[in-house]
Structure formats: structure tokens, C-alpha cells
Amino acid sequence: MTTQARFIALEGGEGVGKSTLMRGLVVWLASKGIEVKQTREPGGTPIADEIRKIFKSPPTGDEITPETEALLVSAARAQHVSKVIKPALSQGRWVLCDRFSDSTRVYQGLFGGVALNDLEWLIRFSTGGVEPDLTFLLDCDVAVSHSRIGGRGSAMNDDDSARYDQGGHQVLERLRQGYRKVAGFYPSRFFLLDASKSSEEVLIDACKELERRWKL
């Protein structure tokens, strides 16, 4: 099938099932003959992956500020957009990205306290105006995501799911509400998925939206 290349981002707080949905979407799109570039943020290029390491595991004793976080993810994003996302789209490949600029709006902005106006400037500068055509927001009650994070066991220890989970339900709830607010700023770009459903059902809901939106 020949279709226009699309850029799709998956967003949501910790433990909502983005990775599982990503795997399912890649298989489903491939069944339609659509070639997908799968990527994630922060990361996606060797430089951006190095920045990810600092971002996810900052040296102890030097607490990272939300402003520094915003600059780090923006530097990684600038590299990622120009070296991976734009080239893939211009070659006609679809891009599926686990997190993009809305993570910055929520984590550094609404959660971290960096002014959204400043972030908008940074986002424009780092992306050159590239935005997802569609953003799936995986949204569920924090009791569900909390128990899923717990289920990851020891993998959590070097993962910043642990960082955000330390504050427990309250932090997850703030992230959830942050995402719902950002989704309200861009209603035509966002599609909310009920992530409390089974992973199979979430995938079906996402595929139905792709069929509806782009007649796949």
C-alpha cells in the first residue's frame, strides 16, 4: 500500500503500556505493507542515546534541575529529528516514536515547573517545527499503572520509572492530569486510549483510529 508517511507519537505516564502498543502497531502496519521506523525519546541516535544516559542516571550528588532536563531532552531531540525522523519521513517511512515533545510539556513543564512558553520556544528550536501527525495518549487510573510498574520488579531500580514512582500515586496522578491537560491543548492531534483495557484491546482501539483517520 502506498500512503503518505506519517509521524505518530505514543505518550503517557509511567507503566501505561506504550512499549507493548508500539510492538503491536509495528506488526499491524507491516501487515498493511507500511514500513515503520521505530524510535524513542530521549534517544534514537548515538549522541541522543548518550544524552539519555545522563538524563536517566545523572551523577549522584548533583541533582538535576527541570531546566537542565529540558535542555538535555531538547539537545537529544534536535539530533533525533534531523538525523532520524526527518530522513525517515522524507524516504516515505512512517515514524513511530515512544515519547516526543509532549513529554517535555508534561514532565519538565506541568510537573517540573518550567514555564510552558519557554518550553514552546525550545520545542520549536529543537524540532524545526516537526510535530507528530497523531499522538496516542495512553491514559488509565494510576492504580493500574502503579501496579504495572511494581510488576516490572528489579528492572525498576535503574529506571526512572522508579524516580517518578517514588512519590507513589500522587506523582503518577499529576503526570496523568498533566497529559490530559496537554491533550486538551491539541485536540485534533491527540487520541486518548483507555490503557486500563487489555493490551489486545488497546491495540484494536489504536488500529481503528488509524483506519478511521487515514483510511488504511
Note the residues at the interface with ligand TMP (CB under 6 A): 40-42, 69, 73, 99, 103-104, 107-108, 160, 164
Comparing CB distances to ligand TMP, the nearer of 133 and 160 is 160
In the complex, the smallest distance separating the C-beta of residue 186 from ligand TMP, rounded to whole angstroms, is 16
First and final CA of the chain: distance in angstroms?
Answer: 9
User: Which residue carries 508517511 as its cell?
Assistant: 5
Comparing CB distances to ligand TMP, the nearer of 57 and 91 is 57
Collapsing DSSP states into helix, strand and coil, what is residue 130? coil
The DSSP line for 55-103 is HHSPPTTSPPPHHHHHHHHHHHHHHHIIIIIHHHHHTT-EEEEES-HHH
Peptide bond into 66 cis (omega under 30): no
Q: Which residue is nearest to ligand TMP (CB)?
A: 107
In the complex, the smallest distance separating the C-beta of residue 122 from ligand TMP, rounded to whole angstroms, is 10
Comparing CB distances to ligand TMP, the nearer of 3 and 163 is 163
* Residues 21 and 138: beta-carbon distance below 8 Å: yes
Comparing CB distances to ligand TMP, the nearer of 67 and 160 is 160
In the complex, the smallest distance separating the C-beta of residue 212 from ligand TMP, rounded to whole angstroms, is 27
